[in-house]
Structure formats: C-alpha cells, structure tokens
Structure 1
C-alpha cells in the first residue's frame, strides 16, 4: 500500500481498499497507471504570467485602498450614494484587454512619473454618463447608447478624473511614490496602442455603483511600465515600508509631545552643612559659607540628574545662567 500513497493509512482504510480491489470496484492496474503517468499542464505562451502571486496580492491591496479613496471622493463630488470595490485583478495580453472592453468607451490615458510609459483608466459609458448627469444637476441616470463625448462633456470628465488620479498617488505612496498626470482622453480603443498587443498587463476591475447605475472601471498597468519597481511590489517590502512609515509618524508624534512637556531646571550656587540649631537661629544678614568659589561653575540639575554646568549672570535685566558644559548622561545628585 505504501507504493500507492505517501500518507499512512489506518487499518480501516486498508481493509476498505482491499475490499474494493477484491470486489472489482477498483482496478489495481489503473491505479498504478494513474500514479506513474506524468502530469501535464497546458501553458499558453501568449499569456505569459509576468506578475507573481505575491505581486498580484500587493496590487490588490493598493487598489482596495484606492477604491476606498474613490468612494469618499466621488461621494463628495456627486453628492449621492457611490461605491467602488475591487472585483478582480488579472494579468493578460494587452490585445485581450482591448477586446474585452466596449468598442466605444471612455479611456483616460495617464503617465506616472518616475515610471516610464503610459497606463489607462477605462470607464464604462454607463458609469461615465451617470457621473456627467450628477455633475450637471441630474439624478445620476445613464444612457442606453454611447456615441461619443462632446467637448463640454470631455472637459467636465477630464477635470474629475484628473483629481481622481491625484488620489491614485495616495494609494501608491506606501509602495512607490508616483505622480500620475492625465495626458489624453480617447473613446475608441482601436486608436489607443500604448504597448504591443502581446505585452502582459495587469487589469484591475472596480465594481462601481452610482445611485441606481452600476458599471465597471478598469485600470490597465503594463508590465513593462511597472518592471523597474516590481521588487517593491512584494508583500514583504510593502509591509516593511508601511511599518517604517508608521514608526516614523509615531516617533514624530512622540517628539512633539516630549517638546511640550514641562520639567524643572535648578541651578545650584553651592551647598553647605549646618546644624539644626544654627538653622533655627538664622536671621536677616547672616552669612552661610557655600562649598564653591565665586568663580567656579554652577551645576544645573534636571529633576534629580545633573545635566549642565554654567556661570551666573544677567540677561535683559533678569538673572540668568550661561551653559558652558554638557555633563555625561545619568549622573545622579550623589555623584557630584
């Protein structure tokens, strides 16, 4: 039985297997053939997988964050119920992406410095018209047929999507700082050839709901554009950068709070030892001799620790002390 499985079988499983073989329900030769045959998996070279699973997961996290930012932004802009969620993150040839979108759609081509190359934000006409209708005072309804955009409609949508691309930079900042800029708006996918047809692209699809209208928004990111920063798309790198950013923010907050803290600073002219009787009989005009000379440095204490040494004087008509020396950390009062 060990030849059939690398797992350890229980006695009941062994008995059931022997019973099935003896009754003819299972054929020993066929079982042996199944284990000796080579497992073959088809591989389509036209759909070369250029993004690892780890990188796809990172892209998913980035765009889930972007979906939340878009929901907030468009809810304020359109003043209606808006919801964006990541529906899928896939990698496929660019030609297949072009064939998967409508023949007439809204294509926002943008660049993102320091990345070299162009990317696409594709907006389904249903979603685009619903946005236009809300921005122009309507209820957020869509049209059944899309024939193109007028100059005014193009200008209105370009203004909205320019601002949405600024938000895109916020979604990427923990992984790669980018500066997205809208370069053109197109409606016919056949006129938009940003990379070669066989180039692998990552396509992030957002399920979009505006009032009662639903549709899809796609972001197309060519592998050749993201290739210089692919190492930064690993989950380990991304999560470590997030931790560094979070730690830096926490340190900044802590420093600001420490700066506002009030602490007592005491400048000691010197010390002297007298009896209780002498202390009780002190009166105006009496002199107490200190253990320091008039030209010696004064110790400056922060709480119970001596931190500085300095000289007495005046500043602006007020008593002051000039710091001459910083003492070693941790010197207690009894060490002086």
Structure 2
C-alpha cells in the first residue's frame, strides 16, 4: 500500500506548528528512525505476493501502452494511459470506492472461471463520447447513466480494450475475454462475495485536459489456477522464448503472404469543371493526360510503388511492371 499523502491543509497546519514552536523537528526525526510496525489483519490475509503484484504491474504496463496507442489513433487526440497502482483488497472495499453512476463492464475470461470487471470513470467515458461525436473531448456533462447510443460507443472502446488485454496476458495465459453485461450501479455488479480478495489495477487516463481512472478488478478465484505463472521469472522467460522461436517468424511471413492489398493502375487523369461534369452524356470522349506509349502508375494501397505498361495476359487485361519507384521509407530494403 502506498504511504499516506498529506493534504494541503495538513501541510499548512504542520508549517504553522513549526513556526509557533509547537512541533519539534528533532523529536519527529527520532520517531521516523524508530522501527515502524505494520498492522496485519488476520481476517483479511494477503493473497498475492510482492513478486506477483510486480508481475501484474508489468503485464498491465504493456496493456496500457497498447490501449494508449489505440485511443490516440481512434480519437485523434493527445492521450495518456499509465498504471499508477496495483493493490489487493476485498471486493466490498472496491465496490464502495466506485462512484454511482459508473461505467462498469462485467467480463467473462474463458477458459478461466469467474468474471472480472473493467470500470471506467464517467468523466473519461463522456470525454470519449464527446470526441467521437465531433466535439473537443471536454467533459461538460454531469455524471449520469449512459443512453443506448452512448453505451454502444463505450462498448466498442471496451471491445478494443479486451483485445489488448488478451494480447498483454498472452505469455501467461491465453484467454478470450468477452463482455457479458454493462452496469451503472456498482451494487449491481456482484461477481464475488464481498469478503473475497481481489487485485485492482488502476490506470490513470488523460484525454486532452480531462483526467480520470480506469480500473481492472480481478478476483483471486479467477487467478488461482495460474498463480504459479504470475512470477517475474516466468514472464521474462516466456517473452524470451517467444522471441527465440523461428516458427513465429514463419507464421508472420505466412500471414503477410495471405494479406490482401488493393492494387490500382492509373490510366491517366483530367480536370473538368462541375458544369462540364454535369453535362456529360453517353458517347462523350474525355482526353487523359497520358499518351499511348507512356508508362502508367501502379498504386499499392495509397502509395505509387511501380511504373507499368498495359497489355493482355490470355483473355484478361494485365500490366507489365517496368520500374520500381523507391521512396525514403524504402531505403535499405531489397527491391
């Protein structure tokens, strides 16, 4: 657990005590040097070791990077997502810490048993919604239950987050998270008994000037079958072995071979006015800016990559590649 942080009023009070002589700096220093005793509650024993907490932190650091990239691209805004804490507490304490209404996704994670929770601060949710609908992403809406259209937008965000969560956990366990339900009242999201231990991963999320938190709640019962894998040693070795396997390269190469990309051959172009365009009729002839013996542009995706000449192959129209057009990004690659 993190150390207690003084509020501004407490700091001001402490400074006033120093100024009046009520507080003795030497006495406080002696108290600091004394051995600190941490209270242990036998009714609520810790279920996760420090190494397991550290591993969960690293796993969700990876998730935060993936989700950050997606949100930045999707919203076309400056987004920051980072893990700020990983703590274990009872499920009741977690539920009591949530505001009502909240944006709560209840997820199934087969083949693991049980459910986990993905909770998004309503301020962040409304900032995303405002951005999607063409706004600046400002949070000017008071917390309330989402409408059906707003819920559909957030479900899409959650679906993408689940894909990134699956990818982040891939080296530890291969699960397939699915959205089972969305709730706005934390009291209705009862996935485990109130006294059961859970681990809470808190991610600070910032979209423009709007800040909020994204919480991932994972009960101990869900992670119990894979607790032996939640170690730094296992996680690092799994990453190294994944990089060393040559079959992964073959899989990627095969996927690239099967990838389809649009290929367009540009016969030429011309400029006409809107008036001329509207007056076009059957039989009109439009003159292109290319000649019969000119090489044509071959466009792959959205970039011009080749020059070619038109012709036929059997009974089909075809082109013959005559030249490779290299761009700055192609330097150092084999043509």
Normalising TM by the smaller chain, what interval? Answer: 0.5 to 0.7
Structure 1 position 125 matched with structure 2 position 122: yes
Q: Distance in 1 between matches of 2:219 and 2:176?
A: 17
SS in 1 for 2:245: helix
Aligned pair count reads 218
Instruction: State which of 221, 225, 228 in structure 2 corresponds to 1:228.
Output: 225
Q: Rate the CA distance shift 1:225–1:41 in 2: closer, same or farther, 3 A.
A: same
Instruction: Determine which of 112, 121, 127 is the counterpart of 2:109.
Output: 112
For 2:202 and 2:46, how far apart are their aligned partners in 1? 18
1:103, distance to aligned residue in structure 2 (A): 2.0
Give the conservation status (yes or no) of the 8 Å contact 1:75–1:81: yes
In structure 1, the residue matched to 2:66 is 69
Q: What is the CA distance between 1:167 and its match in structure 2? A: 1.2
1:152-163 counterparts in 2 under 5 A?
A: 152-163=149-160
* Larger of the two Rg values belongs to structure: 1
Cα distance change, pair 114–144 in 1 and its aligned pair in 2 (3 A): same
Distance 2:146 2:222 in 1: 29
Counterpart Cα distance in 2 of 1:139 and 1:199: 41
Query: Is 1:46–1:93's contact at 8 Å kept on the other side of the alignment?
Result: no
Aligned equivalent of 1:175, options 163, 172, 187: 172
Q: Which residue of 1 aligns with 2:275?
A: none
Q: 1:128 to 1:43 in 2, by over 3 A?
A: same
In structure 1, the partner of 2:75 is 78
CA distances 1:5-27 after superposition (whole Å, capped 9, x unpaired): xxxxxxxxxxxxxxxxxxxxxxx
Report what 1:27 is aligned to.
Answer: none
What do residues 212-260 of structure 1 show as CA deviations (whole Å, max 9, x unaligned)?
100011000000011011111111111111121111048847xx9xxxx
Q: Deviations over 1:127-148 (max 9, x none)?
A: 0000100111111011352121
- Map 1:268-307 → 2, pairs under 5 A: none
The aligned runs of 1:202-281 (5 Å cut-off) are 202-249=199-246, 252=249
- Tell me, yes or no, if the aligned pair for 1:110 and 1:181 is still in contact at 8 Å: yes
Q: CA deviation at 1:46?
A: 3.9
State TM-score, norm by structure 1.
0.62
Per-residue deviation, 1:65? 0.3
1:193 aligns with 2:164: no
Aligned residues of 1:65 and 1:171 also touching (Cα < 8 A): yes
Q: Is the 8 A contact 2:126 2:141 kept in 1?
A: no
**Structure 2 gap ranges (5+):** 1-33, 254-335
CA contact (8 A) 1:46 1:198 kept: no
CA-to-aligned-CA distance 1:78-124 (integer Å, 9 cap, x gap): 11111100010000000000111112110011111111100000000
Distance in 2 (CA, whole Å) between partners of 1:61 and 1:98 is: 25
